[in-house]
Structure 1
Amino acid sequence: MKLRVKNLYKVFGANPEKGVEAARKGMGKEEIMARYKLALGVNDVSFEVGATEILVIMGLSGSGKSTLVRCINRLIEPTAGSVEIDGIDITQLSDNELRLLRMQKVGMVFQNFALFPHRTVQKNVEYGLEIQGVPTGERADKAKQAIDLVGLSGWEEYRPENLSGGMQQRVGLARALASGADVLLMDEAFSALDPLIKREMQDELLALQARVGKTIIFITHDLDEALKLGDRIIIMKDGRAVQVGTPEEILTNPANEYVEKFVQDVDITKVLTVSKVMRKAISVTHPKDGPKTVIHKMHEEGLSRLMVVGKDRKLIGLVEVEKVTDAIKRGEHTLEHVIDRDVITVRPDDNVSCLFPVKKYPIAVVNDDNKLLGIVKRGSLLSGIADFGGTYGHQ
C-alpha cells in the first residue's frame, strides 16, 4: 500500500487534545465547538491508497476534505493519528526529514495554480528541482520531460500571464511531476477553470495517469468530477469519512441518508459499466455449421440472431434467421455469404453511456483478444439500468 491514513484527527484551537478525546467519546462537531470552543476539522479518518490509484475525497464546503489532504503532507499538523507513505509515518518526522520527503515523494497541485509570475514555464517547472539542489542541466532535462508529458511543448519560454487557465494548471501539474513524486495531492485543482476546459483537464489527467501511474489524492466538491476521475471515492461530512467505495458502490449502495441525498440525482450511466448490463453469450454458432444446423439451433433456443465465433471463441460476426433461411432456399451449405461481419463491439469495462448512440443491436462484448464474453440487447440495457436505480439519459 502506497499511502495509509489511520485514525486521523485534526482539531483547531487551544488544547486540541480535549477535542480528540470528546470526539472519541462520540461527541459531534457542533457540540465540541459549543462546549470547548474547538473546531473539529478531521474526525477519526482511516483509508489506504494503492500505487497508481486515484482516490477522490469529496464533500460540501466545511466537510473537512481540504484539511484532510493538507494533513497528509503536514501542511496542517495532525492532532492525532498516523499518515504513512511507503511505510514511513510522516507524523514522526523531524522538520528536515519532512522537507526531504515532500521534495522527493509528495507533489501538490493547487486550485490557484501557485505559479511564479516572473518565471517562465520552464523555470516554474524547474523550481522544485532547484530547491532540491539538482544540477542545472539535469533539472532542465527533467522539466522538459514533464512539460512534454502535460502537452506544453513549445511554451517553455512563456510566462504564466501569456497562458490560459488550463495551461497554467498544466504547468502546476508538470512542476509536481518533474520532482519525481510518487504521490500527487490535488486540491480542487480544476474548480477555477471554465466547464469546457475543466472537462479537458479531467481527460488529460486520466490519460496522463495511464502513462505515469502515480498515486493521486484528488479533492473536489463536484460529484460528476469525482465519478469520472475516482477509482474510489471518500465522501466527507463534518470531518468524518461517511463512505468509502468505488463510484458504482456509492451510487448503488449509499451508506446512509446523507450519501443517498448526495447522489440521488446522478445519472447512473456515468459509472455503470457494460459488464453490469450484458448477458452471457451462451448460444453461439461456428463457421463450420451449415444453415440448417443454425436454424435448428435458433429454433431450439428461441432466437432470431446468433453470434458467430471461431474455435478460440474470437468473434467473427452475426447471423440472422431471415438471411440464413434465404441461404437454405438458395441451396447453400455454408454460412459464408450470410455472416454480418460489421458487428459493433465494446469492452466489459466501458461505460454504458457509449451504448446509447448505437442503432444496431445486439452489441458484442469482447475482451482485448476479441473473444466473445457476452451481448447487450436494447432491452437488457434498459432493464439493467433500471435494476440499479438512479436516473439515466443521453448526456
Structure 2
Amino acid sequence: MTRMPMTDRPVKLSCRNVWKVFGREAERFLQNHSTPTADQIADAGLLAAVRDVSLDIHDGEIFIVMGLSGSGKSTLLRCLSRLIEPSAGSILLDGDDLLKADEARLIDIRRHKMGMVFQNFALLPHLSVLENVAFPLSVQNVGKVERLRRAMEVIELVGLKGREQSYPRQLSGGQQQRVGIARSLAVNPELWFLDEPFSALDPLIRREMQSELLRLQNVLKKTMVFVTHDFDEAIRLADRIAIMKDGAVIQTGTPEELVTNPATDYVAEFTRDVQRAKVVSAASAMQPPSTGHFDSAVAADLKIQAVAAQVIGGGKPVAVTAADGSVIGELTPDAVLTTLIGREAHR
C-alpha cells in the first residue's frame, strides 16, 4: 500500500502529556509533580502505566502502538478512547478535548465516532452474525430496516456474505474476528481502535486478516490506532509506529525510520531482527544518477524486497523515479545486495 505523507493529512486525534498512574491520590501526586521520576513514583507507592505521552495521529493513518508485555500500549489505547480515565493530560479528537466531555457526550462520541476491536471477539453467542453486526445500530435506535441493510453491507464488505444467519459457534476464529470487525464498522466510525485483534489467531489466519485489514483500509480510509507486540505485523500495516517502554513512548516514526535510525539502544534491539529489505525503500538506498539513460526504473517508495530481483537480475543500475515520473536517483545491484545481506555482515 502506498503511504501518503503524514504532513499532507490533518490531525485527527492528539494527546499531550498523558499520564495514567494507579494508586491512591494519583491525580494529586501529579499535580504536585508535573514530571515525576520513576523513583518518586515508586516512593509514593504508585504505578505509572502511561508516562507523559504526547502523540499526533493523522486522518486516515494506520498508527501502530507497540511494545513488550507491560509496556503500557493497551493502557494508552484505553486512555485515548477514555475506556479508562487518564490521570493527567489532554486528548483531542478533531480539536475537542475528550477529557472535558461529560458522560452523555462521551457515550454519543463512542456510539457515532469510534469503533473498537479487541483480542477477545466478544460476540454474543445467542445472536446470529447478522444480529451481532446490527447490535450497535440497535443501541443507536436505528430502525430495523436500515440497521439490517447496513449490517448486510458490512458483512459483505468483510467477506462473510452467506454466513449472516450462522451463530458464532459455527464460525472459525478468523470468521469470528471478521464479525467483530464488521460490528465495529457498522456505525461507520471515524476513529477505529484495535487492541491486538489478531494475536489469538494462528499465523496463516493472522496474515489473512492483516491482508483483509489493508484491503478494508484501501476502501474506507479510516483513522486507526492499532496495538500489537509483533514488529512484523507492525511494519506490514503501519504508516507510523510508536514504540513504548515502561509506559513511555521511546520513538515514533515510519517503519523505515525506526529500523534505519533507531533513537535508542532499546529501539535498535527491538528492531534488530527485522529484514531490512522489507522496510528500506529504493529512495533510501539510491545514489545520484550517473547517467541520463536507464533501461528500467523503479518507484522511489517501493521496498528493496520488491525490486531486488529486477535490479540484481539486470546487473546494472536502474532509475529511481518520483511520483511524477522524474528520475531522482539510481539504484545499483551493490546497494540492493548491501541492504539484503548487510545486517548479517555486521553481526
TM-score normalized with structure 1 length? 0.78
Shift, 1:377, TM fit = 3.0
Q: Of residues 334, 338, 343 in structure 2, which corresponds to 1:379? A: 334
Q: Secondary structure at the match of 1:2?
A: strand
Shift, 1:22, TM fit = 7.0
Is 1:180 equivalent to 2:188 in the alignment?
A: yes
* Aligned counterparts of 2:226 and 2:156: Cα–Cα separation in 1: 22
Tell whether the 8 Å contact from 1:19 to 1:40 is kept in structure 2 after alignment. Answer: no
**Which digits, 9 at most, give the CA deviation of each residue in 1:110-161, with x for residues without a partner?**
1011111111111111111110011111111111221122122222111111
Q: Secondary structure at the match of 1:14?
A: coil
* Aligned counterparts of 2:94 and 2:344: Cα–Cα separation in 1: 41
Query: 1:14: which partner in 2?
Result: 24
Q: Of residues 158, 167, 176 in structure 2, which corresponds to 1:150? A: 158
Q: Secondary structure at the match of 1:243?
A: strand
Tell whether the 8 Å contact from 1:265 to 1:391 is kept in structure 2 after alignment. Answer: no
* Aligned counterparts of 1:257 and 1:22: Cα–Cα separation in 2: 32
Q: Secondary structure at the match of 2:156?
A: helix
**Which digits, 9 at most, give the CA deviation of each residue in 1:227-257, with x for residues without a partner?**
1111111111111111111111111111112
TM-score normalized with structure 2 length? 0.89
Shift, 1:31, TM fit = 5.2
Query: 1:132: which partner in 2?
Result: 140
The answer for unaligned runs of 5 or more in structure 1 is 285-305, 308-317, 319-342
* Aligned counterparts of 1:357 and 1:157: Cα–Cα separation in 2: 47
* Aligned counterparts of 1:278 and 1:224: Cα–Cα separation in 2: 24
Report how many aligned residue pairs link the two structures.
332
Could you say which structure has the larger radius of gyration?
1
Shift, 1:376, TM fit = 3.1
Closer/same/farther in 2, CA of residues 279 and 154 from structure 1, 3 Å limit = farther
Query: 1:273: which partner in 2?
Result: 281
Write the mapping of 1:209-358 to structure 2, written as runs, cut at 5 A.
209-281=217-289, 283-284=291-292, 306-307=293-294, 318=295, 346-358=298-310
Closer/same/farther in 2, CA of residues 150 and 373 from structure 1, 3 Å limit = farther
Ranked by relative contact order (alpha carbons within 8 Å, sequence separation 6 or more), the top structure is 2
Tell whether the 8 Å contact from 2:277 to 2:339 is kept in structure 1 after alignment. Answer: no
Tell whether the 8 Å contact from 1:268 to 1:391 is kept in structure 2 after alignment. Answer: no
* Aligned counterparts of 1:239 and 1:22: Cα–Cα separation in 2: 20
Tell whether the 8 Å contact from 2:133 to 2:186 is kept in structure 1 after alignment. Answer: yes
* Aligned counterparts of 1:391 and 1:196: Cα–Cα separation in 2: 27
* Aligned counterparts of 1:123 and 1:390: Cα–Cα separation in 2: 51
Tell whether the 8 Å contact from 1:236 to 1:242 is kept in structure 2 after alignment. Answer: yes
Is 1:27 equivalent to 2:5 in the alignment?
A: no
**Which digits, 9 at most, give the CA deviation of each residue in 1:96-121, with x for residues without a partner?**
11100000111100101111111111
Query: 1:360: which partner in 2?
Result: 313
* Aligned counterparts of 1:267 and 1:96: Cα–Cα separation in 2: 48
Q: Could you tell me which amino acid in structure 2 is paired with residue 355 of structure 1?
A: V
Query: 2:8: which partner in 1?
Result: none
Shift, 1:383, TM fit = 3.7
Tell whether the 8 Å contact from 1:122 to 1:157 is kept in structure 2 after alignment. Answer: yes
Shift, 1:384, TM fit = 5.4
Query: 2:207: which partner in 1?
Result: 199
Deviates more, 1:355-364 or 1:106-115: 355-364
Tell whether the 8 Å contact from 2:30 to 2:36 is kept in structure 1 after alignment. Answer: no
Q: Could you tell me which amino acid in structure 1 is paired with residue 305 of structure 2?
A: S
**Which digits, 9 at most, give the CA deviation of each residue in 1:178-202, with x for residues without a partner?**
1111100000111111111111111
Tell whether the 8 Å contact from 1:22 to 1:32 is kept in structure 2 after alignment. Answer: no
Closer/same/farther in 2, CA of residues 360 and 113 from structure 1, 3 Å limit = same
* Aligned counterparts of 1:27 and 1:128: Cα–Cα separation in 2: 42
Tell whether the 8 Å contact from 2:304 to 2:339 is kept in structure 1 after alignment. Answer: no
* Aligned counterparts of 1:213 and 1:380: Cα–Cα separation in 2: 34
Q: Could you tell me which amino acid in structure 1 is paired with residue 22 of structure 2?
A: F
